[in-house]
Structure 1
Amino acid sequence: MNTFKVSVQETSNNAIVKFEVNQFITKHQSFEFSNVDEAKPSPLAQQLFYLPFVKKVYISGNFVAVERYDIVQWADVQDEVAQQIEAYLNGGGTVIIEAEAPKKIPVTVYAEATPNPSVMKFVANKKIVTALFEFTSIDEAKLSPLATELFHFPFVKSVFIEENYVSITKYDISEWQDITIELREFIKQFIESGKDVVLPEASQKQQNTSTQKNTHFEALDDTSKEIVNILEEYVKPAVASDGGNIQFLSYDETTKNVSVLLQGACSGCPSSTFTLKNGIENMLKQMLPGKVEMVEAING
Structure 2
Amino acid sequence: MFIETETTPNPATLKFLPGEIVMASGTREFTSPEAAAASPLAEALFALGDVTGVLYGRDFIAVTIAPGAEWAPLKPQVLALLLDHFVAQAPLFTSAGADFSVPGEADDDTNYGDDPADADIVEQIKDLIETRVRPAVANDGGDIIYRGFREGVVYLKMQGACSGCPSSTATLKHGIESLLKHYVPEVSEVRAA
Task: Measure how far apart 1:200 and its partner are.
Answer: 4.4
Higher-Rg structure is 1
Extract unaligned runs of 5+ from structure 1: 1-106
Task: Measure how far apart 1:164 and its partner are.
Answer: 2.2
Counterpart pick for 1:155 among 50, 59, 63? 50
Q: Which runs of 4+ in 1 moved over 4 A?
A: none
* Structural mapping, 1:17-28, within 5 Å: none
The answer on whether the counterparts of 1:244 and 1:266 sit within 8 Å (CA) in structure 2 is yes
Aligned to 1:88: none
User: 1:152, 1:202 → 2: CA distance?
Assistant: 17
The answer on whether the counterparts of 1:111 and 1:180 sit within 8 Å (CA) in structure 2 is no
* Structural mapping, 1:275-290, within 5 Å: 275-289=171-185
User: 1:226, 1:270 → 2: CA distance?
Assistant: 28
Aligned to 1:209: 102
Find out whether 1:241 has 2:139 as its counterpart: yes
User: 1:201, 1:127 → 2: CA distance?
Assistant: 21
Aligned to 1:8: none
Overall identity of the aligned pairs, in %: 33
- Give the residue type in structure 1 aligned to 2:137: V
The answer on whether the counterparts of 1:108 and 1:125 sit within 8 Å (CA) in structure 2 is yes
Extract unaligned runs of 5+ from structure 2: none
Aligned to 1:273: 169
Aligned to 1:108: 2
* Structural mapping, 1:135-284, within 5 Å: 135-203=30-98, 205-206=99-100, 208-209=101-102, 221-253=119-151, 256-284=152-180
CA RMSD of superposed structures (Å)? 2.2
The size of the alignment, in residue pairs, is 183
Query: Secondary structure at the residue paired with 1:248?
Result: strand
The answer on whether the counterparts of 1:257 and 1:292 sit within 8 Å (CA) in structure 2 is yes
Q: Describe the superposition over 1:221-258 as per-residue Cα deviations: whole angstroms up to 9, x where unpaired.
A: 221121111111110000011111101111123xx111
- Give the residue type in structure 2 aligned to 1:151: F
Q: Normalising by structure 1, report the TM-score.
A: 0.57
- Give the residue type in structure 2 aligned to 1:224: V
The answer on whether the counterparts of 1:122 and 1:167 sit within 8 Å (CA) in structure 2 is yes
Structure of greater relative contact order (alpha carbons < 8 Å, 6+ residues apart): 2
Task: Measure how far apart 1:201 and its partner are.
Answer: 4.6
Change beyond 3 A, Cα 1:284–1:129 = closer
User: 1:173, 1:148 → 2: CA distance?
Assistant: 21
